[in-house]
Amino acid sequence: MKTIIEPFKIKSVEPIRFTTKEEREKLLKAAGYNPFLLHADDVLIDLLTDSGTSAMSSEQWAGIMRGDESYAGSKSFYNFEDAVRRITGMRFIIPTHQGRAAEKILFSITGGPGKYFPNNTHFDTTRANIEFTGSEAVDLLNETGKHPEIRADFKGNMDIEKLESFIKEKGKENIPLCMITITNNSGGGQPVSMQNIRDVKKLLERYNIPLFIDACRFAENAYFIKKREKGYSGKSALEIAWEIFSYADGVTMSAKKDGLANIGGFLAMNDENLAMQCRNLLIVTEGFPTYGGLAGRDLEAVAQGLSEILDEHYLQYRIRSVEYLGEKLISAGVPIIEPPGGHAIYLDAKRFLPHIPPEQFPGQSIVCSLYIEGGIRGVEIGSLMFGKYDKSGRLIPPAMELVRLAIPRRVYTQSHIDFVSEVVIEVFKKRDSLKGYKITYEAPMLRHFTARFDSL
């Protein structure tokens, strides 16, 4: 059979609320043209993020009931620890309430002024947590990954040559660790090849620099390796995950993505001394090391989610459903990052709206139009999220201006996705009439969450 079906039946449903275009125009204006500030109830199809928005399985809900809420040594922690160790093989596993808490702990200990942390592309919270300590977060993505229109299998790969020159230039003693983000969220949800992970590890070993993996979407990345990389088609997603983590010295993970949970994360590593320091800080900021800011029931939900995520029927459906949306948009001429990523479609706002310059936030203009046209909420990943100002106050835009339509796991059906494609195509047809935006309020860090705008 050619149709790939959702590998689940629906037991519990949640109604979505329809609004009119006129209502949405008013709601968006009241939210300062920032869809982050909308009430979720006013959104028809919410593609703001795939983080924490998964539909949990009946077994996960059963785990919620089984949760052991003991303060110390809870049974749920040991289930969680087993599930994480079964996949990553890491010696020390530290639960945190979400991914950024793991980052905060890791970089508070390893960071500080004069230090550098390379990555293929840092996610915004990773970058913020590094910069908060006075260190520098550096993106060393391979050149192909910076060109939305180029189709390549592993556009999330690290540029190995640049990494080596970077280490030589800054000095290995100033690089406490190097990260690889799988898949590369800020660069289009593009996967990293096993070869690249292996090569990065080999290089880092020469300089004695530890490798940490930001594993938010490790299962999606493993499935891409199985489908695209020579030598892996006969391996299971779990075997591929084992190999990925065998090259790592540590892992940060938000379990809100490939943990299929609504909250949770962890920090894991093999270095005992580092683990001890991380646990000590965890006690100050998150909680006792056997719950780390989570309820016992949350630990159960993550443990069960991690056992479901590597099911290959699920992964096939997941990757195909994102690709399906991508194909519909490409056939209508809508510019997206090609090929489609694992968890989201990224509209290329530069090509979508060539008449709107970066300082007028073309991505934000598309985001606002998608909401007004069809009640769809996406997010800008461009000059708003990553733009910096130079000394004269001029915006330095990032390499790409994108809009991410992230697909929550196991939440929307094929007809929802068909509807999304119709709305995007409708906005694309009207693209010449779209206008830019100017910021009227911005916070000093992570401004995209709370910024307010006026339409130009």
Ligand X SMILES: Cc1ncc(COP(=O)(O)O)c(C=O)c1O
Q: Which residues of the chain form contacts with ligand X (CB under 6 A)?
A: 51, 98-100, 123, 125-126, 181, 185, 214, 216, 254, 256, 265
CA distances from 157 to 193, 364, 389, 434 (A): 7, 27, 28, 34
Instruction: Tell the smallest beta-carbon distance from residue 446 to ligand X (Å).
Output: 11
Alpha carbons within 13 angstroms on the beta-carbon side of residue 314 total 23
- Residue indicated by tokens 């929307």: 412
Instruction: Tell the smallest beta-carbon distance from residue 51 to ligand X (Å).
Output: 4
- Look at residues 174, 175, 193, 172 and name the one whose alpha carbon lies nearest to residue 184: 193
**By the 8 A CB rule, do 398 and 139 touch?**
no
Shortest-Cβ-distance residue relative to ligand X: 99
**By the 8 A CB rule, do 5 and 314 touch?**
no
261 vs 427 by CB, closer to ligand X: 261
CA distances from 31 to 35, 119, 310, 338, 404 (A): 7, 34, 39, 32, 19
**By the 8 A CB rule, do 75 and 101 touch?**
no
Instruction: Tell the smallest beta-carbon distance from residue 257 to ligand X (Å).
Output: 6
Tokens of 81: 């620890």
What CA–CA distance (Å, rounded) separates 49 from 313? 23
Strands in 178-181's sheet, in edge-to-edge order, are: 92-96, 265-269, 250-254, 211-214, 178-181
179 vs 434 by CB, closer to ligand X: 179
Instruction: Tell the smallest beta-carbon distance from residue 422 to ligand X (Å).
Output: 27
215 vs 356 by CB, closer to ligand X: 215
**By the 8 A CB rule, do 63 and 301 touch?**
yes
68 vs 214 by CB, closer to ligand X: 214
Instruction: Tell the smallest beta-carbon distance from residue 322 to ligand X (Å).
Output: 15
Instruction: Tell the smallest beta-carbon distance from residue 385 to ligand X (Å).
Output: 12
42 vs 103 by CB, closer to ligand X: 103
CB neighbour class for 134 (10 Å; exposed up to 12, middle 13-18, buried from 19): exposed
Instruction: Determine the residue type at 407.
Output: I
24 vs 404 by CB, closer to ligand X: 404
7 vs 287 by CB, closer to ligand X: 287
251 vs 376 by CB, closer to ligand X: 251
In sequence order, what DSSP letters do the residues of 216-234 get, joined into one string?
TTHHHHHHHHHHHSTT-TT
99 vs 148 by CB, closer to ligand X: 99
Instruction: Tell the smallest beta-carbon distance from residue 122 to ligand X (Å).
Output: 8
Instruction: Tell the smallest beta-carbon distance from residue 360 to ligand X (Å).
Output: 26
Instruction: Tell the smallest beta-carbon distance from residue 53 to ligand X (Å).
Output: 11
Tokens of 111: 């960071």
